[in-house]
Amino acid sequence: MSEKILLKYKQAPKTWILNWAIVLSLIFVVYLSLPYIEYNGIFEQGSKIALNIVKGIFKPNLALLVDFSSKDAVPYLMLETVAIAFLGTLFGAILAIPLAFLASRNIVSKPVTHSTTFLIAMIRTLPAFVYGLMFIRVTGPGPFTGVLTLGVSSIGMIAKLYVEFIEDLDKGIIEALDASGCNTIQKIRYGVIPQLMGNFVSTTLYRFEINVKNATILGLIGAGGIGGPIMFALGGYRWNDLGALLIGLVVIVLLIEAMSVRLRKKLATGQ
């Protein structure tokens, strides 16, 4: 028995050369990149600031955290963040539908598919932040800019995922409807929409989750939501306010995540 095992050991492919090559090349890459990561030591008072931030989180500004009337308090900022993400996602999802159909191989011809896929890839590549910086020049600071930014930056991913579902459409159902004499609108209503609806909604919910996170960073450029006050609290050394805001951010992201996961599970299992 043990001889058999030893034999197997000897016959095992020798991978150590490859493994060492990978490790060495990783070390080489790290060595190359070190000059770019200029470490200047901890900023003067840096450790004190870090300590203050931690203290602030454990001793948040309660007045700010539970004030339900003021527009500058955490509850309203959380609401605003979710509202921006919600409208932005919806906006992006609606814009993504025509693009997705134009990029599906079973719907349109090859040249159209290729050019639309390229357009979708382009939209997807740029970070949401870049769109935000551009939109702020158009509609000025405010939550509406956040909505537009999230909308445009969501198109790429949503459309890409939609395409996969459209390409998976079961043609048999549509042919059956055709055979029983349905017109085009009926075919779409009873053949296409029921097949796509669940997956589309599930994808959109997933993107909504991501967008709630994105909405928090949009505030940094003045596009509404909880990000702006976070930046100001840090800049103004208001640690207790920062603690309250960070708690709000964590709560809102966790809540939306839990809700979205539950809804998506429901959609997937159909109950």
Partner 1 sequence: MAWFKEWLNPSLLVLSNGKIVQPKRSPSVIIVPTLIFLVLASAVITEVDLWVLLKRGYQFFVIIGRMIPPDWAYTSTVLKPLIATIMISIIGTLLGAFLSLPLAFLSAENIIKNKWILNINRGFFSIFRTLPVLVYALIFRFVFGPGAFAGTLAIALFTWTIMTKMMYELIETVDMGPFEAIESSGATRLRAFWTAVIPQILGQYISMILYNFEMNVRSAAILGYVGAGGIGMLMNEKLALREYDRLGLILLFLLLTVYAIESTSRLIRERLN
Helix axis angle for 110-125 and 74-102, nearest 10°, is: 160
Of residues 150 and 177, the one with the C-beta less far from partner 1: 150
Site string for partner 1, 152-191 (x = CB under 8 A): ----------------------------------------
DSSP for 115-146, written as a single string = HHHHHHHHHHHS-HHHHHHHHHHHH-SSHHHH
- Please state, in angstroms and as integers, the Cα–Cα distance from residue 122 to each residue in 104, 105, 114, 117, following that order: 17, 19, 12, 9
* Token duo for residue 28: 């080489």
Q: Is 108 in the site for partner 1 (CB under 8 A)?
A: no
The Cα–Cα gap between 222 and 145 comes to 9
Which helix or strand (DSSP H or E) is residue 245 part of?
helix 239-269
In this chain, which stretch among 154-162, 171-179, 218-226, 263-271 interacts with partner 1, using CB under 8 A?
218-226
Q: Is 23 in the site for partner 1 (CB under 8 A)?
A: no
The Cα–Cα gap between 178 and 231 comes to 58
Site string for partner 1, 53-92 (x = CB under 8 A): x-------------------------xx--xx-xx--x--
For residue 136, the one-letter residue type is I
Q: Is 29 in the site for partner 1 (CB under 8 A)?
A: yes
Of residues 107 and 134, the one with the C-beta less far from partner 1: 134
Residue from 2, 11, 33, 184 touching partner 1 (CB under 8 A): that is: 33
Of residues 16 and 36, the one with the C-beta less far from partner 1: 36
Q: Is 253 in the site for partner 1 (CB under 8 A)?
A: yes
Minimum CB distance to partner 1, residue 232 (Å): 11
Residue from 2, 4, 17, 40 touching partner 1 (CB under 8 A): that is: 40
Specify whether the CB–CB gap between 149 and 132 falls below 8 A: yes
Q: Is 193 in the site for partner 1 (CB under 8 A)?
A: no
Of residues 46 and 98, the one with the C-beta less far from partner 1: 46
Q: Is 21 in the site for partner 1 (CB under 8 A)?
A: no
* Token duo for residue 87: 């409208």
CB atoms within 10 A of CB 201: 14
Q: In 3D, which of 232, 247, 225 has the Cα closest to residue 56?
A: 247
Can you tell me which residue has the tokens 């959380």? 78
Q: Is 214 in the site for partner 1 (CB under 8 A)?
A: yes
Q: How many CA atoms lie within 13 A of 211 on its CB side?
A: 35
For residue 27, the one-letter residue type is I
Residues 233-252 close enough to bind partner 1 by CB under 8 A:
234, 246, 249-250
Contacts with partner 1, residue ranges (CB under 8 A): 26, 29-30, 32-34, 36-40, 42-43, 46-47, 49-50, 53, 79-80, 83-84, 86-87, 90, 121-122, 125-127, 129-130, 133-135, 137-140, 142-144, 146-148, 213-214, 216-217, 220-221, 224, 227, 230-231, 234, 246, 249-250, 253-254, 257
